Every structure is written in C-alpha cells, then in structure tokens.
Structure 1
Amino acid sequence: MRTLSAIAFLCLTLSCMGLTRKLSPNEKQDVLEIQNNKRTYMVHYPKKWDGSPVPLLVALHGRFGSGSSMIKQTKLDLLSDSKGFVVVFPDGFKRSWADGRGNTPADQNKINDVVFIESIVKRLIAEGSVNSKEIFLVGHSNGGFMAQRLAVEKPELWKGVVSVAAQLSVSTLKRKLSLKTKPVSIGIIAGTEDPLVPYSGGYVRDGGEILSVDDSIQRWKEWNSCGDVVTKKSKSFKEDEAEIKLDFFRYESCAENTKVGLIQLNGLGHSWPGETPMIPFINQGKTTKVISGSELVWDFMESL
C-alpha cells in the first residue's frame, strides 16, 4: 500500500512539474547517442509549417527540469505556432546541464552537452527543416548558464543567444579567455531580486562563482567590440494594483552586426516571467503573470 502511495505521489509530482507530456501531431521525440548515453529531445514544428526551412530556437530547461517541463513553463510551442519557427526542447542529463560550474550531475559525470546540443542543431539543418543562418538559443537558470557556455564555445552556431535568470559564470569566463572566437549577439533577462542567482554576482546555491549581470554585459560588450552608445527604454505593467517596471538596455554598434542586450526585471526573482514556478519547494522570489518571458526572448531574436 505504501509503495502504491509513493508511486501515485511521484506521478502527481512529475505531472505538476511538467516532466510528462503527450506529443501533439506536429511534434516528435528523437534520440542521439553521446558518450554511450541515449540523449533525448523533442522537436515542435509550427502548425501551419509548409516544410520550407524556417528559424530554429533551442530551449534549455533549468535544473530539475526536462524538455517537457520547459514547454509547460514557457509555452514556446504556442509562440512557435504563431511566429512560424521550429523549437527544440532537449533533456538534460539527470535533469541538469554541464554548464562548467562543476556541481550539477552532468558536470560531475563529465557529460559533453556542447556536443549534444551542437549535434541536435546539425541534425535539424541536415534534415532541411531549419535555416542554418537563423539558429537561436535560450536557456533558463542552469540552462541559461549552459547557453552562455555555448555562446562562448560555439558562437558560429548561433544568430542570437539569450539567458534567463543566468549570467556569465567564472568558469565560462576563464574558458572564453583561452579561446579566440567570433562575436555573437547576446541577451540577458534577469530579475534584480533573484534569490538563487544573485543579480550582483557571487556564489549560487548549486555551486560556482558567477559575475554580476552588469559585469557580464560589459564582458560581452568588450568581446563583441561594441561602441559605448546604449539605447535605453522602460516599460511598466500593472499587476494586483502594483507596478512592475522593465528596463531595456541595448548596444547595437557591435562587430559583425551583433548586439548585446539586457532586460532588467525590477523587483522580480528567478522564475521564467509569466510562469507558475515548476519547483514549489524552492523560494524563487517574486513572480509575475502579466509579462511573457517567451515574447521578450523572441522579440530580441527577431531584432537581430
């Protein structure tokens, strides 16, 4: 009886976290074998797609998540249908990514997630479904740190990269200093009151030292040889009689037509904007229902 209760609780928990999900007719589950591990990912094709090459967005979930939970969390599948891009949701190793900071299961098992993500992109290009010149990447939290690592190590893959609730880690900074790589457009979306990934930098709970958001933007500005002119704007939203203000900063005079941008979520925490937190037992700070993180991400990508 206890065993049945435990199984029922596990199924309920996985369902609530979005780790289980049925495929729709315009989706497929696929597998790659990397380092003797079967790595899985889900591809969502836009509903009205005519089969011609379209942009691709790779979306990396956070720690304890999955490709399925990233779909539920972001609703990027619905945005894909309305905007006409393919979106792929990979599954991390033991619900984690080897972002280089050292403490995730993927890092501890020396998983090569750089090769995994690159292999997915190359497979989709080879099948003819996506435009190789319009490949984008976004990640949240652990997935955001992984996105920063991929931007540093494989910039030639991406037209644009956005990390949400994650900035540069010291490990990725050190890796960048040892590489000579091309510029790549970068955006960071960060809550100023994030209790898990401090906006001002320092150490995060799951290990590793990180730069502040401002220092991360400054590094990318230098690496992309951007000019000092920055475009600034703000936008306010009303929620429960309170005001939420977003500040946008953009460096647009950069090498090879790249851009560096910051969307500062004043007073908000770690959650993907617009989502219900997937992990209820961890304090992620203030959330919002009136801002769509997915629309913020795609607006940045479309501007490139």
Structure 2
Amino acid sequence: MRIFLFLFVIGFNSCMGYFYRVSPNEKIDYFTFSGNKRTYLVHYPKKWDGLPIPMLVALHGRFGTGVTMSKQTKLNDLSDQKGFIVLYPDGYKRSWADGRGSSPADEDGINDVVFIESIVKRMIAEGSVNPKEVYLVGHSNGGFMAQRMAIEKPDLWKGVMSVAAQISVSQLKSKLNFKTKPVSVAIMAGTEDPLVPFSGGYVKDGKEVISVSDSIQRWKEWNVCQDTVKHKSKQYDENGFKIVIDFYRYEDCFEDTKVELIQMNGLGHSWPGETPMLPFINQGRTTKVVDGSAMVWEFMESLK
C-alpha cells in the first residue's frame, strides 16, 4: 500500500510539472552540476523594466518540484504584485541534501549548498537580480535546507525563512565548522505539526531536531540579539475553528538583523493557505484563511 501511495504522489507531482505551461515572463533553465542535469523555474514579475530587483529562492519539500512549489505557494501572484523574482530550484530526486543524512540527495553526496549558491550567482551575473536583496524560503525538507544555507552561506542572503522546519541536531553540530555572520532568520511553524515536532525530537524519517523555541534562541545568540521582543497576534475564524498566529520578533540584533518566530497555534505541517501536495500523509490541521506566502514576504520586506 505504501508503495502505491508513493507512486501515486510521484505520478501526481510529475503530471503537474509535465503539464505546466511556462508564461512569457517565465523560463525553465538548467546547467550540469557534478555530473547531474539540475533544473530550475524562474518567474519574473509581469511589470518589470529589466533593472536588477529582489529575488526570492523558494525550496520545495520532499517529493516536490519547483513547479509544485510555485502552485503550492502561489508566490508568483505575490511576485507580480510586489515586483520581485521567484526562483524555484528542483531538488535531486525530489529532495535536498539538508545535512540530516536521510534524503536521497544526502545519501548520494549531493552538494546542494554549492548548487543553490551557483544558481544565485548565475542569476546575479545575468543582471536581473540585486545582489543585496536575495532572500530564501523553504518548506519542510526545503526548510531544513534553508537553515543549512543560513548557517553555511549567510553572506548570500538578506533574509531566510523556514516553514515547517527548524534546526536539526546535525546542523547544530556542523555550526561549529562555520564562522558566525549575522543573517536575518525567521521560522514559521505549526504547534501541532505531526511530522516535525514543534517541541523537538525525532521527525518521521528518524532524524532528531531541536525545538522551535531553541532554534530561535540559537539564532538570537548567533545574531547577538537583545531579549527585547515585539509580540503581536492575529486571529482568524475558519468554519468555527479559532486560529491564533503569534509573531515574536527580535529586532535589536547585530548588523541590523532580525530573528522572528511565527507560531501557528493548532496548525500542522502544510504551507498555510495551500492545497496539500501529499494528500495521503497526515500533515495535521490545514488552513485556507491564513496566507503563508504573504507572511513570508512581509518578513523579507521588513529587512529593507
């Protein structure tokens, strides 16, 4: 039964990619990296004058693709409204080498840190991207990859956000090998995530993560943040269920960086506002009334 579900999900996501029609303001590109053809989708805002603008790199979750990430998040609509480029890389065998050691990319020794860095530098060299306004967001496996990029390549990013992912134990240990340079980081996490426990512990693939609050504390320490926090809450009603989103932002940090926790009380693993791409996996409570993509870009815009 599990094999059937796995093949169904792969087939479903493959069909979504196969039938994707590239618009005039988009392109699908590739280059050979470590002997593998690596592809990515780029969405340019519709009203763009060709001058360098901000870029958001969006990393899909396990079993996803760049195309499914674009459909899942609807970041293209936000890109057209706000005027930034969205770049959706495709992971190796639908996975990212996030350093935990359990994904196909990790198992095959893929250096996704350098791969993602190469795409960013490629886009900057193209002349379309402002190198001082490059942002990163990732969901699930892509969210762990975003944490790895923030730890290992902080110079690349103006801001980084992980959705449904925090710092893994393996990432925390590897941090000792890298110099600390402040970078603005946010984590968006559901308190009832059944796949990546909010309070820390073992995720479904057997790898250990620290808690969301501990992850935020680590970034506060690395960014030399004061304890002064700006807290606000937003409330939503969805079919009688009350959703409370708590925002905890630390703004008094070294080099004007920020650290933020977006705590989605009662919600699960899915990207807020999405149609889940893995319908047969229990991801906890989902929501249609909370716009996760808008919250991602609100954080990035606050860094300007």
Shorter chain as normaliser: what TM range? Answer: over 0.9
User: Which residue of structure 2 aligns with residue 226 of structure 1?
Assistant: 225
Q: Is the 8 A contact 1:39 1:91 kept in 2?
A: yes
Matched, 1:190 2:158: no
| In structure 1, C-alpha distance between the alignment counterparts of 2:54 and 2:282, rounded to whole Å | 35
Shift of 1:15: 6.0
The answer for the alignment partner of 2:4 in structure 1 is none
User: Which residue matches 1:3?
Assistant: none
Letter in 1 for 2:233: S
Residues 226 and 252 in structure 1, CA contact (< 8 A), matched pair in contact too: yes
Residue 273 of structure 1 is matched in structure 2 by 272
Is contact 2:17–2:68 with CA below 8 Å preserved after alignment? yes
Within-5 A mapping of 1:24-35:
24-35=23-34
What number of residue pairs does the alignment pair up?
Answer: 297
Structure 1 residues 15 and 238: alpha-carbon distance in aligned structure 2, compared to 1, 3 A threshold: farther
Match of 1:49 in 2: 48
Structure 2 matches for 1:55-204, cutoff 5 A? 55-204=54-203
Matches of 1:16 and 1:268, distance apart in 2: 29
Distance 1:92 1:10, change over 3 A: closer
**Matched residue, 1:5:** none
Aligned to 1:189, what secondary structure does the other structure show?
A: strand
What are the superposed Cα offsets for residues 251-285 of structure 1, whole Å, 9 maximum, x if unpaired?
00000100000000000000000011101110000
Q: Distance in 2 between matches of 1:40 and 1:27?
A: 13
Change (3 A) 1:21 1:107: same
1:209 aligns with 2:184: no
Q: Is the 8 A contact 2:9 2:278 kept in 1?
A: no
The 2-side partners of 1:144 and 1:284 are apart by 15
2:278, 2:9 → 1: CA distance? 14
Which residue of structure 2 aligns with residue 4 of structure 1? none
- Which blocks of at least 5 consecutive residues in structure 1 are unaligned? 1-8
Give the letter for the 1:256 counterpart: E
Q: Distance in 2 between matches of 1:110 and 1:262?
A: 32
Residue 12 of structure 1 deviates from its aligned partner by 6.5
Asked whether the equivalents of residues 13 and 64 of structure 2 are also in contact (C-alpha less than 8 Å), the reply is: no
Structure 1 SS opposite 2:167: coil
* Alpha-carbon RMSD: 1.5
**One-letter amino acid matched to 1:133:** K
Return the alpha-carbon distance in structure 1 between the equivalents of residues 206 and 19 of structure 2: 28
Partner of 2:134, secondary structure, is strand
Between 1:102-111 and 1:200-209, the stretch displaced more is 200-209
Flag structure 2 segments of 5+ consecutive residues without an equivalent.
1-7
SS in 2 for 1:256: helix
Give the whole-Å Cα distance in 1 for the aligned partners of 2:267 and 2:125.
40
Shift in Å at residue 170 of structure 1? 0.8
Please report the TM-score for the alignment, with normalisation by the length of structure 2. Answer: 0.95
One-letter amino acid matched to 2:265 = N
What does residue 37 of structure 1 align with?
36
Alignment partners' CA distance in 2, 1:294 and 1:19:
24
> Is the 1:193–1:268 Cα contact (8 Å) retained in structure 2?
yes
Cα distance in structure 1, aligned partners of 2:117 and 2:13: 28
Q: Distance in 1 between matches of 2:223 and 2:21?
A: 41
When residues 194 and 11 of structure 1 are mapped into structure 2, their CA distance, relative to the original with a 3 A threshold, is closer
Q: 1:258 to 1:10 in 2, by over 3 A?
A: closer
Amino acid of the structure 2 residue aligned with 1:235:
K
Matched residue type, 2:174: R
Cα deviation, residue 181, structure 1: 2.8
Give distance in 2, aligned partners of 1:142 and 1:215: 19
> Equivalents in 2 of 1:20, 1:114: separation in Å?
29
Distance verdict in 2 for CA 1:175–1:19, change over 3 Å: farther
Given residue 35 of structure 2, which amino acid in structure 1 is its aligned partner?
N
Amino acid at match of 2:232: K
What's the counterpart of residue 236 of structure 1? 235
The sequence identity of aligned pairs, in percent, is: 71
